[in-house]
A and B are shown apart, each in its own frame.
Chain A
């Protein structure tokens, strides 16, 4: 009798990274475009089918890895502030008549 070569951990957290095991329960929507994903403890996630690996079907097991990207967050925040500063420079304040 063979044992599994590696145990599958339903969820795994390491620093800013989380790894979650999901199963595809079914597809919903007019065009079956929404995949209903389930965590092992029953949490349900509605996920666009177009964002699944090609060939994925109901009953498949997926691994979702979430990683907090601090550098990307900092970049977007900086870019947002830059655009807002540009826009604010054009606002002379005061009341507006339309």
Chain B
């Protein structure tokens, strides 16, 4: 069994592929500041975690052969993570958008949320309990964030505790927004 994991600033995200044929691929795209992580399931389904700071993400995804995105995730509300997401939404119309639900007061973030709302895509949020998303045979788990992080309004969350069950291995990867294991 392979497993991938996401650990986001405002909440945690663990990815656990179920048994199946083929290979799940995780690509860390070079977007300069911030991040953009592409997860492709063996069946060709795609998830994008963050979209880097700029519009350059769309041509890069097209260059990689991406024609559709099943899940788009914004790990947290800083522009080096969501700056290119509006273009991704317009170009690929992701099926599902995962938001961390943090309250933040920049007009740019509000603009993104309004685009998400007006696009009509399905929107899901991290909750207080773990939540699973099956991306083909790749299983993603949104891990709940510690309460004190959720209550941090518009601020930078502190370093997140490394816990054994979230440690990466050949079967498990954890994505944590700004923080890497």
Please give the residue numbers on chain A whose beta carbons come within 8 Å of chain B beta carbons, in ascending order: 73, 76-77, 79-81, 83-84, 86-88, 90-91, 93-98
Q: Which residue of A lies closest to B45 (CB)?
A: A98
Q: Among residues 116 to 168 in chain B, which have CB atoms less than 8 Å away from a CB atom of chain A?
A: 116-117, 122-125, 127, 131-136
**A11 CA to B103 CA in the complex, in Å?**
32
Contact B105 A84 (CB under 8 A): no
Contact status of A90 and B122, CB under 8 A, knowing A77-B103, A98-B136: yes
Task: Out of B113, B125, B136, name the residue touching A91 (CB < 8 Å).
Answer: B125
**Number of B interface residues, CB 8 Å?**
29
Residue pair B109, A80 in contact (C-beta under 8 Å)? yes
Cα A91 to Cα B101 in complex, Å, equals: 12
**Which residue from chain A places its CB closest to the CB of B107 in the assembled complex?**
A76
Q: Specify the chain A residue showing the minimal Cβ separation from B110.
A: A80
Contact B123 A90 (CB under 8 A): yes
Closest to A78 in B: B105
Chain B residues within CB distance 8 Å of chain A: 45, 70-71, 95-96, 99, 101, 103-107, 109-110, 113-114, 116-117, 122-125, 127, 131-136
- B125/A98 in contact, CB under 8 A: no
Do B123 and A91 have beta carbons less than 8 Å apart?
yes
- What is the distance, in angstroms, from B152's C-beta to the closest C-beta of chain A? 14
**Chain B contacts for A79, CB-based, 8 A:** 110
Given A77-B105, A84-B113, A86-B117, the answer on whether A98 and B96 have CB atoms closer than 8 Å is yes
Q: Which residues of A contact B113 (CB under 8 A)?
A: 80, 83-84, 87
